[in-house]
Amino acid sequence: MSVIARNLSWGVRRKTIVSDVSLTVAPGETLGLIGPNGSGKSSLLRLLAGLRRPATGQVEINGRDIGQVPRKALSREVAFVQQSAATDTNVTVADVVRLGRTPHRSALAGWSETDESAVTEALERVGMTSRRRQAWQTLSGGERQRVHIARALAQAPQVMFLDEPTNHLDIHHQIEILRMVRDLDLTSIVALHDLNLAAMYCDRIVVLQGGSVCACGTPEEVLTPDLLRDVFRVSAHIDASADAGRPHIRFTAE
Amino acid sequence: MGSDRTEGGAGRLALFLCLSGIVLTLAVAAATAIGDYNIGLRTVFLSVTNELGLTGAEIAPIEQSVVWNLRLSRALVAALAGAGLAICGAILQALLRNALAEPFVLGVSAGASTGAVCVIVLGIGAGGLSLSLGAFAGAFAAFALVAMLSNGATSGPNHTILAGVAASQLFNALTSYIVTTSGNAQQARDVMFWLLGSFGGVRWPDFQLLLVVVFACLAVCIWMARSLDAFTFGDEDAASLGVPVGRIRLVLFGVTALLTATIVSMVGAIGFVGLVVPHAARYVVGPLHLRLLPACAVVGAVFMVVADIVSRVIATQQTVPIGVVTALVGVPFFAIILYRARPQT
């Protein structure tokens, strides 16, 4: 399913946070969204997912303007994974993943075979099947993130948005989560901080600066020493890594 | 949790509701039998069936009247008030994502007391306006203020809680001001007694009104139970699961305000039931609202009926205000919640 944004702008009071962003994501693609702190990554992600209404511009998912699609219908196609969402409620892993079926159920409908298999498959996909009865509170950060992704998968979406899914995770879990996202058979748009991880796992990268797109393309095209200096204010060498020719960034000490 | 295979755990809930139903019936029977003047359970039963036209047993008219006109209506109003407050507590704890939320967090009881004081002390609308109507108007004024301060209930939970605190402070200050500047000692005592809650004056028309309000509100809440579950990880998460967050919030805040205002204006501000019962029910049936809300309703009903019995027998020749009894039970429980809610790491 394709995602097309046209001239999106959004702000709080007088401060413009996202300004005139246009981008296109092809079906099945994994798009990385990078940029320094405060560049508008999270806000843009929420605009694209329909969680916020743009001041101007529009988002089309699969050819339909999402402003015209009802909330519930939209969430049957689009899932959103927040960064480290937490709760005090005493819920199990299975309870959390079942929440993903909310948009597919009417107010009093029973639990169907389709619902159950969606939950089972989602847990399987993130390797948490054996934990389904475990209490949410007892999970580690990486496990919680995987359960959130399972919940998003149980929504049976065609597009998934992830807001810094690797935050606070150790390197093993960062790689594991991103590999999983890349291998999913859906369109995904991921806001990321780690440039090397973005280079390794994204098909294309969009660089945001001050709320606008300042570069867009494959990792090789986008990640250049000039861009890193201008946008992130760091000096770096870019090597072609042995890993499928993806660029590898080496930051220099000075 | 035992909620694994089928989401409903419907059998367990049905069993629980059945048992609670039996306990509730027994509690209401006990509440009707026990009092300054104890009446045998057999007489209680026959009085009720007589009034319903099922039997024509010989019962002393005074006993039949006490059972039917005083005690049964009182016990049933207590049950409905307990159920209503417990439901409100469960809803607000979910919407505000705060374990310590309770029905009065939106300032409703403070507003009701101001309304009541206006009637008792200032004699506003003397004759035309009853105490209950005054309290109801005050409660809704407070709720309207909270809704306004929290931008039509669209801002986050903490904002709403702060708005509730501000409204409570304002209305409590108004109440104190009115009492201290224009009340006499007897009026102050009346106000104080009314605020702590009492089922003393309730009659059948109160029961009928409350029955309609409680069941209508429960139906709306159960209709929205799935959406409430989606609030587990916060407003934005609920929105991404397709829940119309703003609308659900506004409707459910409105429902809880209506329910609380009706109860407070009828029997006073009875504390702690709305805080304690949802937590107790959650331990038994789990956090899913489709199960939690009916469970809260029956547990709240039983708790309140029992508390009413205790309030009548705990001191001889005196009726202790019901709010005192619920708080005596509620405070230790509150302490346990606080203890358990401390940071885990």
Which candidate, A82, A122, A67, A128, places its Cα nearest to that of A100?
Answer: A122
Maximum distance among all Cα pairs of chain A, rounded to whole angstroms: 62
What CA–CA distance (Å, rounded) separates B19 from A120? 34
pLDDT for A254 equals 67
Interval B126-142: pLDDT, tens: 555 577 788 888 988 99
The percent of residues above 70 in pLDDT, for chain B, comes to 91
Indicate the average pLDDT of chain A.
90
- Asked if B226 lies within 8 A of A100 by C-beta distance, the reply is no
- Asked if B233 lies within 8 A of A82 by C-beta distance, the reply is yes
The domain spanning residue A187 has which CATH number? 3.40.50.300
- Alpha-carbon distances of B227 from A235, B220, B336, rounded to whole Å: 49, 12, 29
pLDDT-based confidence at residue A159 (cuts at 50, 70, 90): very high
What residues contact residue B52 under an 8 Å CB cut-off, 6+ apart? Answer: none
- Asked if B240 lies within 8 A of A107 by C-beta distance, the reply is no
Which domains, ranges and CATH numbers included, belong to chain B?
A: 2-340 (1.10.3470.10)
C-alpha torsion sign, points A239, A243, A246, A252: negative
B215 burial class (0-12, 13-18, 19+ CB within 10 angstroms)? middle
What CA–CA distance (Å, rounded) separates B194 from A94? 47
Q: Does A12 touch chain B (CB under 8 A)?
A: no
- Total domains in chain A come to 1
For residue B107, is pLDDT > 60?
yes
- Asked if B1 lies within 8 A of A85 by C-beta distance, the reply is no
0.90 surpassed by complex ipTM = no
Q: Which residues of A75-110 are buried (b: 16+ CB within 10 A; e: fewer)?
A: bbbbbbbbeebebebebbbbbbbbbbbbbbbeeeee
pLDDT-based confidence at residue B3 (cuts at 50, 70, 90): very low
Residues of chain B contacting residue A88, judged by C-beta atoms under 8 Å apart? 97, 99, 341
Structure tokens at B339: 């203890």
What CA–CA distance (Å, rounded) separates A253 from A53? 42
Q: Which domain holds residue A245?
A: 3-251
Q: Which residue has the tokens 């939209």?
A: A74
What CA–CA distance (Å, rounded) separates B214 from B229? 21
What CA–CA distance (Å, rounded) separates B109 from B265? 9
Give mean pLDDT, residues B20-49.
89
pLDDT for B154 equals 60
Interval A117-152: pLDDT, tens: 999 999 998 889 999 999 998 998 889 999 999 999
Structure tokens at B147: 């809704």
Chain A: closest CA distance from residue B226 (Å): 6
For residue A85, is pLDDT > 90?
no
Runs of H (alpha helix) within B107-156? 108-120, 131-149
Entry pTM:
0.88
More confident position, A157 or B160: A157
The percent of residues above 90 in pLDDT, for chain B, comes to 29
Q: Could you say which of A102, A108, A111 has the minimum Cβ distance to residue B242?
A: A102
What CA–CA distance (Å, rounded) separates B270 from B287? 25
Structure tokens at B48: 């009720």
Q: Could you say which of B3, B223, B242 has the minimum Cβ distance to residue A95?
A: B3
CA–CA–CA angle A29, B237, B147 (5° rounding): 140
- Alpha-carbon distances of A173 from A88, A144, A168, B56, rounded to whole Å: 24, 11, 10, 77
Weakest mean pLDDT among A111-115, B145-149, B182-186: B182-186
